Each structure stands twice: as structure tokens, then as C-alpha cells.
């Protein structure tokens, strides 16, 4: 059975006080959602403990925005699986287009992070997606195929989420057409070769497009940036129809 996973990525937003305020409003709005729908938030590292102290983890889980492959060591600015497990972190976002772009993250590093997450009992959310130039040159499928083949090598598809996030749709307000997003998600499912893998769409997901996106056959969840910072918007997304 495929899992439904609605995830929010807070990026470099929200301190501990903001997190407490958010949860106070958000938790009552998701209280009727059944456990078959997994709601996940990736707060900044500094707010993870505020988060874990304020939730009961019924169907709201914590993701980290990164994970290293070593348990400890001289890796300034990195975070180890051991540090995350202590705070009940269950998912780890890897391969997001922002670290790919700003910090030149390679498919090889992304692969090591994804394997590290799995070895430590976390579920990696591996992001893939093409830039506008690549899409305009007709290279979208080729780029995604490379990212999937290299980024997921040696991973266990039964404990894996792939998020299709076209870079041109992230933070721009331009959503990928639901039918086109579905086509790419199906391509990813075929490349992975595991029918039950959870595939998310990400890129300007909002309360007014969530119902259409979630009605698509090959989209099992979403990864939400901007709209996850507002408790009412994110609750509407989590309560999609
Ligand atoms: P957005 O971000 O929803 O603000 O477009 C999505 C993401 O970066 O995961």
C-alpha cells in the first residue's frame, strides 16, 4: 500500500517562539485526520526540540532538512543521524534544489545522505526536478532519470519517498500542471521499479490547488514550502479532499 505523506518544509524560517505559536493553531485543525494520512513538518534544527515537546506524534511527524552519513566527526555545519533520532525525527529531506544550487550538492552526496537515513531508521525524502532551461530544452525526463538513477542507487524503495519538484515551480507561484506532474511522477515510479513507492509533488502547492494535485493517480503526497508556514493554509492542505 502506498503511504500518503503531506510534508511542510520550513526552510530557514520560524524560531522556537514562532513554532509554538504555529502548533497552537495548527494542531486543533488537523485533529480529525486519520493515521493513514501522514503529516510531516521539517522545521529548522533549532526548533526541532520545541516541535517534539509540543506534539503527540499521532499523525504529525518531524523531518530534518538534512542528514550526514557519518555518526560524528569534523563536519562543520552538518547534522548526524544520531542527533536526529534523539528528537524522534522520522524523515530527512535530501537533494532539495536549494542545497543542490547554493552548495553544489551532488547526486553522489545525496545518495550517501539517503542511505544514511535508511540505515538509521529514517525515511529519506529525495527531491528531484529540472530547471526551467532544462525543461525548455526538452531535457526534463533525462535530468530526472539521472537524478533518480544516481541519487537512489542502493536504497530500499520500501522506505523511501521521492519528491518531484520542478525548480521553476518552487517559490514562484507557478505550479506544474497536475497532469504533467503526474506524468513525471509515473516516470519516477517506473524508474524505481517499485509500485508502492510514495511519490510527492512539490512546487507552489497551495490550498487552492491541493485537491486537484492529490486527485492524480501517481501523486501520493506533497512537499510544501511557503504555504506550510501558515497554520491555516497548511491545515487546509493536510485536510485535502
Ligand atoms: P514552495 O516550495 O511550496 O514554496 O514552492 C516547495 C519546496 O521548496 O519544497
CA of residue 162 to ligand 1 center, whole Å: 15
Sorted by where each starts, the structural domains of the chain and their CATH numbers stand as 4-238 (3.20.20.70)
> Could you tell me which of 230, 101, 81 has the C-alpha nearest to residue 165?
101
pLDDT (tens, 9 = 90+) of the chain, 241 residues, equals 899 999 999 999 999 999 999 999 999 999 999 989 999 999 999 999 999 988 877 779 999 999 999 999 999 999 999 999 999 999 999 999 999 999 999 999 999 999 999 999 999 999 999 999 999 999 999 999 999 999 999 999 999 999 999 999 998 888 899 999 999 999 999 999 999 999 999 999 999 999 999 999 999 999 999 999 999 999 999 999 9
Site residues for ligand 1, CB cut-off 6 Å:
9, 165, 170-171, 202-205, 223-227
Indicate which residue's Cα is closest to atom 3 of ligand 1: 225
CA of residue 73 to ligand 1 center, whole Å: 31
Q: Which of 13, 71, 96, 133 is catalytic?
A: 96
Q: If you write DSSP's letter for every residue of 187-237 in order, what string do you get?
A: HHHHHHT-TT-EEEEESS--TTTHHHHHTSTT--EEEESGGGSSHHHHHHH
Kindly report the backbone phi and psi dihedral angles of residue 8, in degrees, each rounded to the nearest multiple of 5, phi listed first.
-110, 135
At 54 the pLDDT is 85
**How crowded is residue 1: how many other Cβ atoms within 10 Å of its Cβ?**
6
| pTM for the predicted model, two decimal places | 0.97
Instruction: For residue 127, give the ligand 1 atom closest to its CA.
Output: 9
CA of residue 74 to ligand 1 center, whole Å: 31
Q: How far apart are CA 133 and CA 128, in angstroms?
A: 15
130 among known catalytic residues: no
**How crowded is residue 44: how many other Cβ atoms within 10 Å of its Cβ?**
18
At 196 the pLDDT is 97
Q: Which H or E run contains 41? A: strand 37-42
At 199 the pLDDT is 98
CA of residue 225 to ligand 1 center, whole Å: 3
Amino acid at each position: 500500500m502506498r503511504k500518503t505523506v503531506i510534508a511542510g518544509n520550513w526552510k530557514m524560517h520560524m524560531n522556537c517562539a514562532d513554532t509554538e505559536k504555529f502548533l497552537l493553531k495548527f494542531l486543533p485543525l488537523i485533529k480529525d485526520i486519520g493515521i493513514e494520512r501522514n503529516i510531516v513538518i521539517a522545521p529548522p534544527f533549532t526548533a526541532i526540540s520545541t516541535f517534539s515537546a509540543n506534539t503527540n506524534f499521532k499523525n504529525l511527524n518531524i523531518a530534518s532538512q538534512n542528514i550526514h552519513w557519518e555518526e560524528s566527526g569534523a563536519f562543520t555545519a552538518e547534522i548526524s543521524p544520531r542527533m536526529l533520532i534523539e528528537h524522534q525525527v522520522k524523515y530527512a529531506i535530501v537533494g532539495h534544489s536549494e542545497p543542490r544550487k547554493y552548495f553544489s550538492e551532488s547526486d553522489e552526496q545525496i545518495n550517501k545522505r539517503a542511505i544514511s537515513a535508511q540505515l538509521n531508521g529514517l525515511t529519506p525524502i529525495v527531491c528531484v526536478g529540472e530547471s526551467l532551461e532544462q525543461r525548455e530544452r526538452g531535457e526534463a525526463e533525462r535530468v530526472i532519470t539521472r537524478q533518480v538513477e544516481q541519487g537512489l542507487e542502493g536504497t530500499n524503495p520500501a522506505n523511501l519517498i521521492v519528491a518531484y519538484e520542478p525548480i521553476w515551480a518552487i517559490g514562484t507561484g507557478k505550479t506544474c500542471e497536475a497532469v504533467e506532474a503526474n506524468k513525471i511522477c509515473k516516470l519516477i515510479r517506473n524508474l524505481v521499479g517499485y509500485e508502492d513507492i510514495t511519490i510527492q509533488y512539490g512546487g507552489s502547492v497551495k490550498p487552492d490547488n491541493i485537491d486537484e494535485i492529490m486527485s492524480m493517480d501517481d501523486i501520493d503526497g506533497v512537499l510544501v514550502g511557503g504555504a506550510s508556514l501558515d497554520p491555516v493554509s497548511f491545515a487546509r492542505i493536510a485536510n485535502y479532499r
